[in-house]
Amino acid sequence: MTRPTALPAPGTHWAAVLVAALAGVAAAMNVGKVPVSLPLLRSEFGLTLVQAGWVSSMLTTLAVFSAMVVGLLAGRLGALRMVIAGLAIGAAGSLMALGATGFTGLLASRVVEGAGFLFVVVAGPALISAAAAPHDRRFALSVWSSYMPAGAGLAMALAPLLLPAAGWRALWLACAAVLLLSAGLAWRQRGVYAGTGSSSHKTPALSETLAVFRQPLPWLLAMAFGVWALQHFALIIWLPTFLKEQRGLPPGPVALLTCAMLLVNVPGNLIGGALVQRGLPRGGLIAVAHGLTGLSGWFLFQDSLPDALRYALCLWLSFCGGVIPAAVMSSSTVLARTPQQIGAIQGLIMQASQLGQFIGTPLIAGVVAGTGQWQSARWVTASAALIGTALGLWSIGIERRLVHTAKP
């Protein structure tokens, strides 16, 4: 009697991982396209500064108030459906803007884009988890964590090519095309994403999905991500303003230098994922990264330093901080027991990160306006970094106990 041959363990479907990551990049392009296009939008539509602010921040505002709800909805409807729907909705919002005749129409298109963005970024990690083998899942989620800098940076990189020649509508069309392409690619990989759908007999009760929030670790990690978002967004606000208003650079170089600052976050994401994959504690990585970003932020706002050094510190802050999203977003491998819980955790993480941006903008503006100096912003970023360091250190012991009771 012959012994049965053991079946090989299923491996990671890297093409499907990259397709899911591309969906996040495509959604984030709708975030990055607006800041570089605001001068053209203000000129064409006669927008006030307040109206321009609403157009720019609408996606963040939606996420602050609804990301967790969308995360729970993803668990009920299925991640693949949510991602494809989100990509299509985001493309529809971009196309809506082409026919806008004023502020109201433009803002309505941003609301639609914001809904699509939330659907994709909250549900996307479940697709990554379905496509990755357990031993690769932490690194695969770090690939996903680079969606925001990669997508926003890509839109900014396209801006100098498209805006002078064809205006803001060309950039909106390009974003819609990438969104629809991503939706088609995700649909082609639907067999790999099996298990992320839902049905009446498989979907757990809401109380079972919410049980993941009884642990302190999701809240600590989400808050650590939120204070990192505050630091990064302070840099995103300051750098273009500094380059344009204080150094007189034209829009093209401003966009490219800002784009480079965003894109250098991506290798930080990947290195963070590799370190988590090797078993380094997430809390320790978060604490170290926050310490480095806090020091970088303290000195880059120092007016007496040379411009080249200050820009290098911008790059270093963005690079080091890239470890934080990778460490936080990969935590679902430890925390979640079902695909529905993955959506709930990602909703919490997204809401915390957007809340950091939402609070950080008026806080930094108030501090700078009160003192008349951008240098004062370093007190905000340093305080955020200290909080993030403390949260990371607090997380180490909690995660260690979880790892002892459940394999990631």
- pLDDT confidence of residue 95: 96
CA 227 to chain centre: 13
- pLDDT confidence of residue 199: 45
- pLDDT confidence of residue 69: 84
The dotted CATH code for 14-405 is: 1.20.1250.20
SS3 (DSSP) at 325: helix
The dihedral region occupied by 270, where left means phi > 0, alpha psi between -120 and 50, and beta the remainder, is alpha
Output the tens digit of pLDDT for each of the chain's 408 residues. 444 433 334 688 999 999 999 999 999 999 989 888 888 898 899 988 778 878 888 888 888 888 888 888 877 788 899 999 999 999 999 999 999 989 999 999 999 999 999 999 989 988 998 898 888 888 888 889 889 989 988 998 898 889 888 899 999 999 999 999 999 999 999 888 876 555 444 556 667 777 778 889 999 999 999 999 999 888 887 788 788 777 888 877 888 888 899 899 999 999 998 998 888 899 999 999 999 999 999 999 888 899 999 999 999 999 999 999 999 988 877 787 777 788 888 888 888 988 888 888 778 878 877 888 878 888 989 999 999 999 999 999 888 877 655 544
Nearest alpha carbon to residue 142 among 280, 274, 332:
274
Enter the tokens of residue 370.
Answer: 């009160």
- pLDDT confidence of residue 372: 80
The residue length of the chain stands at 408
- pLDDT confidence of residue 354: 86
Enter the tokens of residue 224.
Answer: 């650590």
**Cβ pair 284, 392 in contact under 8 A:** yes
**Buried/exposed 146-155: b ≥16 CB within 10 Å, e otherwise:** bbbbbbbbbb
**Cβ pair 136, 330 in contact under 8 A:** no
- pLDDT confidence of residue 9: 41
